[in-house]
Amino acid sequence: MSDGINRRDLLIKAAALGLSVAGIELLSNTDLLRMVETAEAAGKPVVAVASKGSVTSMVVKVVDKLGGMSRFVKKGAKVVIKPNIGWARNPEQAANTNPQVVETLISLCKKAGASSVSIYEFACDSSVMTFRDSGIGEVCTRTSVPLISAHESKYYTKYSVPRGKILKQVDAVKAIMEADCFINVPVVKVHGGSGVSLAMKNHMGSILDRGEFHRKGLHQCIADLATIMRPHLNVADASRVLLTHGPKGPGQVRKDNKIFASTDIVAIDACGAKLLGFEPMRVDHIRMATEMGIGQGDLAKVSVIEV
* Burial of 262 per CB tally in 10 Å (0-12, 13-18, 19+): buried
Task: Decide if pLDDT at 3 tops 60.
Answer: no
Dihedral (Cα; 204, 100, 77, 115), 10-degree rounding:
120
Same domain, 195 and 235: yes
Same domain, yes or no: 110 and 231: yes
pLDDT recorded at residue 25: 53
pLDDT tens-digit readout, 53-100 = 999 999 999 999 999 999 999 999 999 999 999 999 999 999 999 999
Structure confidence at residue 35 (pLDDT): 72
Q: How confident is the model at residue 4 (pLDDT cuts 50, 70, 90)?
A: very low
Neighbours of 2 (CB within 10 A): 7
Ramachandran quadrant class, 96 (left: phi over 0; alpha: psi -120 to 50; beta: rest): beta
Same domain, 25 and 154: no
Q: Are residues 234 and 155 in the same domain?
A: yes
On whether both 126 and 143 belong to a single domain, the answer is: yes
- 14 and 61, same domain (yes or no): no
The residues, any chain, with a CB within 8 Å of residue 166's CB and separated by 6 or more, are 216, 217, 220, 221, 224
Q: Are residues 34 and 89 in the same domain?
A: no
Q: Where are the beta strands (DSSP E) in 42-198?
A: 46-50, 78-83, 116-121, 147-149, 156-160, 169-173, 181-185, 187-191, 195-197
Residue 307 confidence (pLDDT): 85
Same domain for 165 and 253, yes or no, is: yes
Q: Tell how far CA 82 is from the center of its chain.
A: 8
Residue 29 CA to residue 27 CA, distance in Å, equals 7
Q: How far apart are CA 60 and CA 227, in angstroms?
A: 28
Q: What is the pLDDT of residues 210-266, one digit of tens each?
A: 999 999 999 999 999 999 999 999 999 999 999 999 999 999 999 999 999 999 999
pTM to 2 decimals? 0.91
On whether both 10 and 81 belong to a single domain, the answer is: no
- CA 133 to chain CA centroid, nearest Å: 21
What percent of the chain is modeled with pLDDT above 70?
Answer: 89
Torsional class of 174: left (φ above 0), alpha (ψ -120 to 50), beta (otherwise) = alpha
**pLDDT value, residue 2:** 41
In this structure, are 275 and 184 located in the same domain?
yes
- Please, how many CA atoms are within 13 Å of residue 104, restricted to the half-sphere of its CB? 20
| Alpha-carbon dihedral angle through residues 303, 304, 305, 307, given to the nearest 10 degrees | 180
Same structural domain for residues 154 and 39? no
- How confident is the model over 130-168, as pLDDT tens digits? 999 999 999 999 999 999 999 999 999 999 999 999 999
Distance, in Å, from the CA atom of 237 to the CA atom of 85, rounded to the nearest integer, reads: 12
| CATH code where residue 291 lies | 3.40.50.11440
Distance of alpha carbon 193 from the chain centroid: 20
Q: Tell me: do 160 and 244 sit in the same domain.
A: yes
Question: What confidence category does residue 1 fall into, taking pLDDT thresholds of 50, 70 and 90?
Answer: very low
What domain range includes position 61?
46-306
Pairing of strands 195-197, 187-191: antiparallel
| Domains held by the chain: number | 2
